[in-house]
Amino acid sequence: MSDNTTSRRDFLKGSAMGITIGAFATMGVFSYSPWRKSYFTEAERKQVDIGVCKSVKVTNISETSWFDNATLMHDIKNAGGLLVNQYDYNWPPFGNGKGLGKGSYQEGMSKLKQYLPNNLEKAWEIIQDNCVSVDNAGGYAALIEVEEMSGRKRKFLLDTGWSYAWTDECFKREGIDKMLENREIEALFISHEHFDHYWGLPVTLKYDDRIPIYCPEGFYEEGRQYIKDCGHKGEVTYVKPGLNKVIPGFASYVFAIPIICRVFGEQSLYFNVKDKGLVSVTGCCHQGIIRFAETAYTEIQYENDNLYGIYGGLHISPFDDWDPKYDDLVISLGKYGFEKVGCNHCTGVLCAKKFIAAGYPVIRGTAQHRSKDTAYLGNGDTIEFGNV
């Protein structure tokens, strides 16, 4: 066993011993030293067998949740702050024409419902007339392709964007529209109820209104009603907190956590790749990268006891601001020993550049289709894990 592997496993044992994410993020270099382990007893590992898969491929449909940080932060501040119900901001699509911070799910949907999901062009015209900051709305969505050991390939969506216009453009660019129409995509997994990951739902339903949907159990009344109002005719599963097996080698995990803008719960994905190790895929990782890794270590049995790769928004510097405590999180990522790091979205460009400067195996992107920088995987970029 290599010294690097030993160090990584010791680190995971230490970080999984009951320390809270808030305290961990501010403790400094001592948090990652061998001395800290003496203060904690080793956490019990459940070692749940989720099976194995041959490979995983992630296509970034869109990581550009919004186009201008200043516009988004201005709206949040002037609407009352991060604790305000997101459905009240008057952002698209739930606009009632009354201005910032005076929105209403019921009033907004009453203008749109008759056009969803099949006449998104007309719906978008109404949205433009009644919502604020329409042009700043983008969205997050990714295509997940899992190859089983038999060679069979299976497709899933993680999230479904925000802006109807932008999400539809991105779906067409990556051929997601045709995959949905042909029912090649088995299910839509919603990571959490936030506007940029969920409000573009009618675009998915435009092409397949029967697609099975898996949401965290913590969805609020508006979020649950939105699925109905968008014209969904398939099965909806509200996934309870904890580990939930999907297919061999693939499980989701719902973290029961409060999130800004009155959202609760995040669902992330884990893949156990044969002979390689665990791949962790997340929408925003509001639970924090340390808790994300801790959970894998304590809950799941995976190949070679190796955390092989990670992809998604890691929620360290979403607005490209920087707090010195974030440097601790950059240090912590290196201790996991990931062989491939695919970050974007709410990781922040500044954070991605710090990962690169630290020598981490960050997979670069192409900065195409309005993504900002090659430091991370942008719109239309892909990353593959495993025996491909």
Q: Residue 7 above 70 pLDDT?
A: no
At residue 100, the pLDDT reads 98
pTM comes to 0.91
d(CA 54, CA 180): 24
Mean pLDDT, rounded, for 300-328: 93
**Pairing state between β 55-62 and 382-386:** antiparallel
Question: Which tokens in the block code for residue 34?
Answer: 């061998």
Q: What is the pLDDT of residue 24?
A: 34
Contacts of 370 (CB under 8 A, 6+ apart): 64, 67, 138, 379
Q: Encode pLDDT of 350-382 as tens digits.
A: 999 999 999 999 999 999 999 999 999 999 999
- The helix, strand and coil proportions of the chain, stated in percent and rounded to the nearest 5, come to 35, 25, 40
Q: Is the pLDDT of residue 335 over 80?
A: yes
pLDDT tens digits, one per residue of 268-284: 999 999 999 999 999 99
Domains by residue range for the chain, with CATH: 1-64+141-225+234-388 (3.60.15.10), 67-136 (no CATH)
More confident residue, 127 or 328: 127
Distance of CA 386 to the CA centre of its chain: 21
Mean pLDDT of 177-184: 98
Section 293-297 average pLDDT: 94
> Any idea what the Cα angle at residue 211 is, between residues 189 and 119, rounded to 5°?
110
| Confidence grade of residue 43 (pLDDT, cut at 50, 70, 90) | confident
Band of pLDDT at residue 5, cut at 50, 70 and 90: low
Mean pLDDT comparison of 24-28, 317-321, 361-365, highest-scoring range: 361-365
Check if the beta carbon of residue 277 is closer than 8 Å to that of residue 304: yes
Measured CA to CA, the distance from residue 269 to residue 146 in angstroms comes to 12
Cβ atoms of residues 312 and 285 within 8 Å:
yes
* Residues 6+ positions from 169 with CB-CB distance below 8 Å: none
Residue 32 has pLDDT above 50, yes or no: no
pLDDT for 31 equals: 43
Give the mean model confidence (pLDDT) for residues 316-337: 90
φ, ψ for residue 158, nearest 5 deg: -110, 105
Average pLDDT over residues 99-127: 97
Contact, 215 vs 290, CB < 8 A?
no
pLDDT tens-digit series, residues 199-257: 999 999 999 999 999 999 999 999 999 999 999 999 999 999 999 999 999 999 999 99
Q: What is the pLDDT of residues 139-177, one digit of tens each?
A: 999 999 999 999 999 999 999 999 999 999 999 999 999
Residues 6+ apart with CB under 8 A from 20: none
Mean pLDDT for 8-27 is: 45
Q: Measured in whole angstroms, how far is the alpha carbon of residue 286 from the centre of its chain?
A: 9
pLDDT of 29 reads 43
Question: Is pLDDT above 60 for 122?
Answer: yes
Residues in Cβ contact with 211 at an 8 Å cutoff, skipping those fewer than 6 apart:
157, 180, 183, 185, 186, 187, 188, 204, 205, 232, 234
Q: Mean pLDDT of all residues in the chain?
A: 91
Predicted confidence at residue 354, as pLDDT, reads 96
Percent of the chain with pLDDT over 90: 85
Beta-carbon contacts of residue 326 (< 8 Å; ≥ 6 apart): 25, 316, 317, 351
| Residue 131 one-letter amino acid | C
pLDDT (0 to 100) of residue 323? 86
Degrees, nearest 5: CA angle 53-59-63:
130
Do 203 and 171 contact (CB within 8 A), yes or no? yes
